[in-house]
Structure 1
Amino acid sequence: MNWTPNPADKKPMHKQIQEYMKEKITNGEWPIGTKIPSQRHLAATFSVNRSTVVTATENLIAEGLLSGNKGGGTKVINNTWSLLAAGSHMNWSSYVEAGIYQPNSSTIRHINEAEFQRGIIRLGTGELAPDLLPSDQLSELFSGMKHRSVHLGYEHPKGNGELRQELAKHVKKRGIETSPSSILIVSGSLQALQLISIGLLPPGANILAEKPSYLYSLPLFQSAQMKITGVSLDKEGIQLSSLKNQHEKEKGTVLYTIPNFHNPTNVTMSEQRRQELLHRCEMMHLPIIEDDAYGELWFHSPPPLSLKAQDKNGMVLYLGTLSKTFSPGFRIGWVVGPEHVIERLADLKMQVDYGASSLSQWAAAEALKTGIYDNHVASVRYKLKEKSQKAQAILEKHLESLATWNVPSGGFYFWLTLHKPVSMGKLFKHCLDQGVLLNPGALYDHETSQHIRISFAYATLPEFEYGIKIVAKSLKNLYL
């Protein structure tokens, strides 16, 4: 809700709120069965006293539009005057609750909403800041469209042929030998994971993944009746002894890993560990999903060869994306894998959305072909390196007595380990109340109460310092 009552209006505040809520109900935005936010939440949203919300709510209850219940909250029971005497009503809430896919956690939903609130300082956002995006280069690229023919119809099931040709050249720089027929264009890595979950993995599959991991923040595997089992991580990457034990104990179906600038810990798997991991997975007949979203964002030297580059038996599905390096709004990612697997995933993608945007695919192909992409990424590396060093100094200034953290050699993140455990929920709320949005470590490891993922990629440095001051203040208050 982005509306607030107008204090200058002659109409009483509770009356304005009452009419606003009634409009939501009668327009069908809040259908029958909808649970109304708590009075405390509404009061904060509308910037009024709680008593004002109580008056508005009680009036709507008296009108027969809402029903108050101490145990179940306040719900919509009617949405037009003519329904007051009707015997049956359409209850969309029952349909919402019966949906196959599980909802995001409440924290994730709060983050997704708060990121678009004016004035919020985003310390958790995993994307490049607006000033690090190639806006000028893309404007020039699109302005040149009038001088040439651009295909705007549906694309091949595997994606634009020219883009797949350019990507085959692009991944070759990372040691991956493949052909366009073994590449699928997807709408970001997240869709690749969704297609894999519904197209390649059986119900009840057990996904082995680093713990902590980005994967724990996604309900899509659990929605498909699958399980995620954590594998221990050290400074060189996945611990092979932990992988072996968990595989034997839990019968893993597939391994998901982020070897380069891992999300959230920023660990980069060593070359020796990669070789050992690939050999171990071959022995266990355990296929690998390699997510390389951050691999090009190195600060000092490129990371070791990808697992896919060393894969001689078609065991690895390699995921890449433009979202972290070029443009999250393009919604362009890719999967490299055995051709028959790519054909299966391509068929599923056609069922899901009939292909990614043809315009985005054309622009991505042009950016790769003309060198715009490589030049942009080189610039981003330099700027992120500089920004990470300044962010490091800010952390040392305000959080050195409260936490420890890694020094990033690439990617977006600091993984903070707090000296004392705290309530992640309270920390998140306290910071958000002060206009600072962060990602609690519990999103990536449900058992932790001593970690925070801090991104230095999005916020400006003044915003970053203000946000870190709020985090420090919040931690000190929680430690008392």
Structure 2
Amino acid sequence: MKPALEIRFTPDPLLPEPLYHQIKEYIKMKIMQGEWTPGMRLPSQRALAAAFKVNRSTIIAALDGLHSEGLIDTNYGGGTKISRAGWNSMSTPLLNWEDYVESGHHYPNLPEVQIINQSEYRSDIIRLGTGELSPDLLPQSYFQKIYDKLAQRAPSLGYLEPLGSYKLRLAISSYLADQQIQASPESILIVSGSLQAMQLIAMGLLPRRSSVLVEKPSYLYSIHAFQTAGVRMIGMPVDKEGLLTAELERYIRQNRPSLLYTIPTFQNPSGAVMSDKRRMELIQTAEATGLAILEDHAYADLWFDEKPPLSLKARDPGSYVLHMGTLSKSVSPGLRIGWVAGPETVIQRLADIKMQTDYGASSLAQEAAALWFTEGYHDVHLAEVRAALIRKRNLVLDLLSRNLAGAAEWNVPQGGFYIWLKLLNGTRPETLFRRALAEGVLLNPGSIYDRFDQDHIRLSFAYASETELERGIMTLARLILHP
């Protein structure tokens, strides 16, 4: 499945120029400006028709015109590509950027992930897979007050020290202490979200050709932070209580991993919460074997009825755990503020690499985040968000019960964003993904989180409005029941 190009041009039927000719000239302009380069594959005729909002015969006429001018080549086995020969006949030959694109060492996103990333910003889409808060749940009014206060005292606009703003690290240290995690400001690094933290860890702490244990399914399979660094990921089984710790020592003996990555609280995508017993067993195994643990705590603040068990880091007297936190899920993805807490030597190593990549997260965002904590906004906001998420979760569970009983089964999340839905009637998630997208509903197939998964989809109740949730689930139910 090839991700779609970003096409924001729609031919105008009121112009005297035929629609197919407008499309042909648009594509020709992209080629002549060097934006669409020789060797680049075009989307299918059906995908182009959807992008330009015309019928397929119009696209065929446009492509025929481009082919007659030598600008595209059509190979029925390999699709339609921008022609190299056509360019050579018209102008100075272009540099073959397609070879560069295919040669870079950083892994591309999975095709489905690229399609999701591009489709999320369509105005006509219902986002049933998006893992972020809806715009109405973002704390706009609170941040308006914060930025008003910052404006009165002329905030720093320069670079900050390698670990990040000391005021913010002090505030995060206090925030972590409330969770029984002892981390001084010197043992905390400010990052631009959890993803950057994982990239820094992969580059700075893990040797090439080493291995990492990871829950399966896991969010980590949907990105390539570790694979691009030459690190092998080994999936471990999970159930509703999280990682099967009884299997851990066998996996350690067989694979000699450098690290275990886990989301113990409201796991992405399954929503599972690792039990208190298994958390203790995991720490004991780490102490017995010397296994380092990377704990992703992104969703832990978003509990519904009762607080989850203490984090792994709170049980870690021997400093086996690196603890990642972020404001992206519970507060604002646009703030781009996260952190890593761990031994100071590790934090200094990661900070040195960070300075080589971006020279520090936004100083203005860090000042705002420090006030977010110190002015008491965080707890007030979380109470509001939890109430809204509970309401939306209950709505989706009710819709699923009324429309998909017997055709699917699902968890009842106790926090976080996600419902891990298992299809029981033979519908393939990838097929459902494509059919739903064609009807304006975007979801996440389970193969993103486990490439062998042919049963699950991940639903998020966090982003879509309640009206959109109802429309989206009803569309989903129809597509599942009538494949």
What TM-score comes out, normalization by structure 1 length? 0.96
Change (3 A) 1:420 1:230: farther
- Residue matched to 1:12: 18
Alpha-carbon contact 1:265-1:415 (below 8 Å) kept? yes
- Residue matched to 2:79: 73
User: Alpha-carbon deviation of 1:286?
Assistant: 1.1
Alpha-carbon contact 1:308-1:316 (below 8 Å) kept? yes
Does 2:32 correspond to 1:32?
Answer: no
Gaps of 5+ in 1: none
User: Alpha-carbon deviation of 1:46?
Assistant: 1.5
Does 2:264 correspond to 1:268?
Answer: no
Work out which of the residue numbers 18, 23, 26 in structure 1 matches 2:29.
Answer: 23
Rounded Cα–Cα distance in structure 1 between residues aligned with 2:73 and 2:466: 48
Counterpart of 2:205, as a letter, is L
Counterpart of 1:157, as a letter, is P
Work out which of the residue numbers 197, 217, 227 in structure 2 matches 1:212.
Answer: 217
User: Alpha-carbon deviation of 1:86?
Assistant: 6.0
User: Alpha-carbon deviation of 1:80?
Assistant: 9.3
What is the SS of the residue equivalent to 1:223? coil
- Residue matched to 2:417: 412
User: Alpha-carbon deviation of 1:78?
Assistant: 5.4
Does 2:265 correspond to 1:290?
Answer: no
User: Alpha-carbon deviation of 1:79?
Assistant: 10
Work out which of the residue numbers 101, 108, 116 in structure 2 matches 1:103.
Answer: 108
Rounded Cα–Cα distance in structure 1 between residues aligned with 2:214 and 2:162: 30
Alpha-carbon contact 1:18-1:57 (below 8 Å) kept? yes
- Residue matched to 1:160: 165
After alignment, is 34-43 or 117-126 more displaced? Answer: 34-43
Rounded Cα–Cα distance in structure 1 between residues aligned with 2:469 and 2:96: 45
Does 2:139 correspond to 1:115?
Answer: no
Alpha-carbon contact 1:25-1:79 (below 8 Å) kept? no
Work out which of the residue numbers 47, 50, 53 in structure 2 matches 1:44.
Answer: 50
Gaps of 5+ in 2: 1-6
Alpha-carbon contact 1:28-1:79 (below 8 Å) kept? no
- Residue matched to 1:221: 226
Alpha-carbon contact 2:266-2:416 (below 8 Å) kept? yes
Rounded Cα–Cα distance in structure 2 between residues aligned with 1:310 and 1:213: 23
Counterpart of 1:288, as a letter, is I
What is the SS of the residue equivalent to 1:136? helix
**Sequence identity, in percent?**
48
Alpha-carbon contact 2:37-2:97 (below 8 Å) kept? yes
> How many residues get paired?
477
What is the SS of the residue equivalent to 1:415? strand
Rounded Cα–Cα distance in structure 2 between residues aligned with 1:234 and 1:80: 56
Rounded Cα–Cα distance in structure 2 between residues aligned with 1:401 and 1:415: 15
- Residue matched to 1:378: 383
Alpha-carbon contact 2:20-2:59 (below 8 Å) kept? yes
What is the SS of the residue equivalent to 2:226? helix
| Per-residue CA distance 1:95-128 (angstroms, 9 max, x = gap) | 0000111111111011001100012100000001
- Residue matched to 1:344: 349
Work out which of the residue numbers 394, 415, 425 in structure 1 matches 2:399.
Answer: 394
Alpha-carbon contact 1:26-1:79 (below 8 Å) kept? no
User: Alpha-carbon deviation of 1:267?
Assistant: 1.0
- Residue matched to 1:462: 467
Rounded Cα–Cα distance in structure 2 between residues aligned with 1:72 and 1:352: 38
Does 2:49 correspond to 1:53?
Answer: no
What is the SS of the residue equivalent to 1:54? helix
| Per-residue CA distance 1:301-338 (angstroms, 9 max, x = gap) | 21111111111111100000000111100000000000
Counterpart of 2:210, as a letter, is A
Alpha-carbon contact 2:150-2:368 (below 8 Å) kept? no
